[in-house]
Amino acid sequence: MRKGGVMGFGYDDVVEKNVEVFKGNESVVSGKLTFGKLKGIVVFFANDLLRVNALSAGETYGQLVLKDDGGDFYTIINCTVEAFSIEAELILEGRSFLLNKAKLYVRYNVVSRWFNDRNGIDRSSSRQDRVVTWSANQEQFEVEVLSVDKPFSVKSSSANGCQRVNEDFVIHEHVNFCIEPIGCEFSIIEFKDRVHELLVYFVIVMGMPADVNSIYLRNDDGDVRDGYFPAFVREPNHEYESAGGLYAFLTADDVKDHWHESLNNYFSVAMVKRRDL
């Protein structure tokens, strides 16, 4: 299901598609789906008023399925029907997604550059055999956040590859963070909240703005889905980002021995504040 692009589904551009909205197996209304680049997830009804009666303003749905002109399906989550539109909190590629033992993977802009600031290429790497050896590779981490009502783990992992561009080979590297519930299941919205809270944690530690690049969900059946929810989009500062950790409040090296303590302390406060709102 995943297209696996460098940028994430909905995060790099505004998406507009003509769609049919389904309740169960029945198509009940047509409209235009719009989302991406900080925009909300909205389906604006077309001139299809004879079928709009199947959806009444004020109704809410946990999930609705959409089908575009090309035959691709999407699932919108936590939907509210307005007079001439449907608004949703999150959208996934594909039909309904089962949350059995699901985990979410998120990539943040700026955070990968900060996290991998010490990484480099060993000069002895074999050019002839196209073997690339990383030097001073940043140590990954896995933390169990147990200081909250519904515990979960946060695990970092490096993703890298090499692409031929004309005469050059371009090496790409970024960090994914996996959020996985421990002994419980998260709703889609709980996953969304953890993504936002983890982003705020990194913004505080780095002392510079960051935003979401991509998210995807994987369940116990091996089903993998790209997703999108509206979120803050930073104004890029290429001077800061090219300099990596030089402008950061703390470096990844400063934090590497304190991931467990700092994440548990942060989430215990962040989630209490969320409950109090």
Tell me the per-residue pLDDT of 129-149, one tens digit each, with 9 for 90 and over.
Answer: 566 666 656 789 999 999 899
In angstroms, rounded to a whole number, what is the distance separating the alpha carbons of residues 231 and 65? 22
Output the pTM of the full model. 0.84
The more confident residue out of 172 and 150 is 150
In angstroms, rounded to a whole number, what is the distance separating the alpha carbons of residues 184 and 108? 25
pLDDT tens track for 84-132: 899 999 999 998 777 788 999 999 988 988 888 766 666 665 555 566 6
| pLDDT at residue number 52 | 53
Q: Dihedrals φ, ψ of 271, to 5°? A: -80, -30
Average pLDDT over residues 142-166: 89
* Closest to 158 in 3D by CA, of 105, 232, 236, 85: 105
Q: How far apart are the first and last CA of the chain?
A: 36
pLDDT tens track for 183-201: 999 988 899 999 999 999 9
Token duo for residue 155: 């695990």
pLDDT tens track for 215-254: 999 988 888 999 999 877 776 666 655 655 557 788 888 8
